[in-house]
């Protein structure tokens, strides 16, 4: 049995919560194993004054962790799956996906009880073009503004009056016990989540069979199937953070059901479809859904500057 293992993580409170959970599970399952957290600052943690879409998108939160994997400084990296690009560097891959937490988005506010209660022209903060698009589709009068930083920082900006409301992932808010300001949970069919939202993935070197064996018990089959469909959908659309893309898959009645959406930045156009496929071929369902949206005109939205 391997005596120790190094876990790479970002340094935010949420990233550390996730990494410590993985550490605890590994040490519990594998008696005698000692797991050490190695905190690595990513470009996404450093550049906080520019919208993600303008500085490189998803890869900003994983590149430095992947470099540490490739040069052997760490044995595995813990990621929020919604931050992981559709393609991996050669030699790396996801070895386990943990059971998914709440996939929904939530609205946080101090003076209002729901999205419908926000006054005309209210300032709403979100770092996600996907969220901005879908909120503007419902409330085109809202003034959407980019909101970067960790969960605590974003909530502090709300409480200081900089925003009438902000939108975050339910999973992160719940994991950190910061639900006091949550006023509305958006059903996944209303505001479709990001691909992989609520799921935590563990990346390692493909040829590191010892680490992969250690991680096998952490993989949650149902979540893994759903996320595989969502990532195939994203990959087929060649999407990152430049265009609003949403995808959410779930097992239902022995089948895999997935909803996908592509929209314009202003929320005026949204193309949405839901398909059902075989649990045994999640990637096939994700690609089919992407092709369906493209046939309905999503390629034009994806090509917009």
- Please say if the pLDDT value at position 239 is more than 80: no
Give residue 227's pLDDT. Answer: 98
220: which 2 tokens?
Answer: 């949650």
> Which domains, ranges and CATH numbers included, belong to the chain?
1-98+199-219 (3.40.190.10), 105-186 (3.40.190.10), 220-305 (3.30.160.40)
In angstroms, the Cα distances linking 246 to 5, 87, 178 are 35, 17, 25
pLDDT digits (tens, 9 = 90+) for 57-82: 556 678 899 999 999 999 999 999 99
* Whole-number percent of the chain with pLDDT over 70: 92
- 55 vs 62, residue with greater confidence: 62
| β-bridge pairing 200-205 and 76-80 | antiparallel
- Please say if the pLDDT value at position 174 is more than 70: yes
Q: How many Cβ atoms are within 10 Å of 153's Cβ, its own excluded?
A: 13
pLDDT digits (tens, 9 = 90+) for 249-290: 999 999 999 999 999 999 999 999 999 999 999 999 999 999
- Please say if the pLDDT value at position 42 is more than 90: no
Give residue 226's pLDDT. Answer: 98
Residue from 49, 71, 75, 83 carrying the catalytic annotation: 83
Residue 127 is classified by DSSP as S
The interaxial angle of helices 13-29 and 151-159, nearest 10 deg, is: 140
Query: Residue 111 catalytic?
Result: no
42: which 2 tokens?
Answer: 């990513």
pLDDT band at 216 (very low <50, low <70, confident <90, very high): very high
């Amino acid at each position: 049995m391997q005596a120790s293992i190094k876990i790479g993580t970002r340094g935010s409170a949420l990233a550390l919560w996730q990494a410590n959970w993985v550490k605890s599970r590994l040490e519990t399952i594998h008696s005698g194993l000692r797991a050490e957290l190695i905190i690595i600052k990513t470009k996404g943690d450093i550049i906080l004054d520019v919208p993600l879409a303008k500085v490189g998108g998803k890869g900003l939160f994983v590149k430095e962790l992947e470099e540490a994997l490739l040069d052997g400084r760490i044995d595995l990296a813990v990621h929020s799956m919604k931050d992981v690009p559709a393609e991996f560097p050669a030699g790396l891959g996801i070895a386990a996906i943990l059971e998914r937490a709440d996939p929904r988005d939530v609205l946080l506010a101090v003076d209002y009880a729901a999205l419908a209660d926000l006054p005309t022209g209210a300032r709403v903060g979100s770092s996600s073009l996907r969220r901005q698009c879908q909120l503007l589709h419902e409330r085109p009068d809202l003034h959407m503004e980019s909101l970067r930083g960790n969960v605590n920082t974003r909530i502090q900006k709300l409480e200081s009056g900089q925003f009438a409301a902000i939108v975050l992932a339910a999973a992160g808010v719940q994991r950190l016990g910061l639900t006091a300001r949550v006023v509305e949970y958006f059903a996944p069919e209303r505001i479709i989540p990001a691909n992989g939202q609520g799921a935590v993935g563990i990346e390692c070197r493909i040829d590191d069979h010892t680490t992969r064996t250690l991680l096998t018990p952490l993989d949650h089959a149902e979540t893994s199937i759903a996320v595989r469909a969502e990532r195939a959908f994203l990959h087929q659309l060649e999407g990152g953070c430049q265009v609003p893309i949403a995808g959410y898959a779930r097992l239902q009645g022995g089948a895999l059901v997935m909803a996908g959406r592509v929209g314009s930045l202003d929320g005026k156009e949204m193309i949405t479809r839901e398909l059902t496929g075989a649990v045994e071929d999640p990637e096939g369902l994700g690609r089919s859904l992407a092709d369906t949206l493209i046939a309905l005109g999503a390629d034009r939205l994806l090509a917009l500057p």
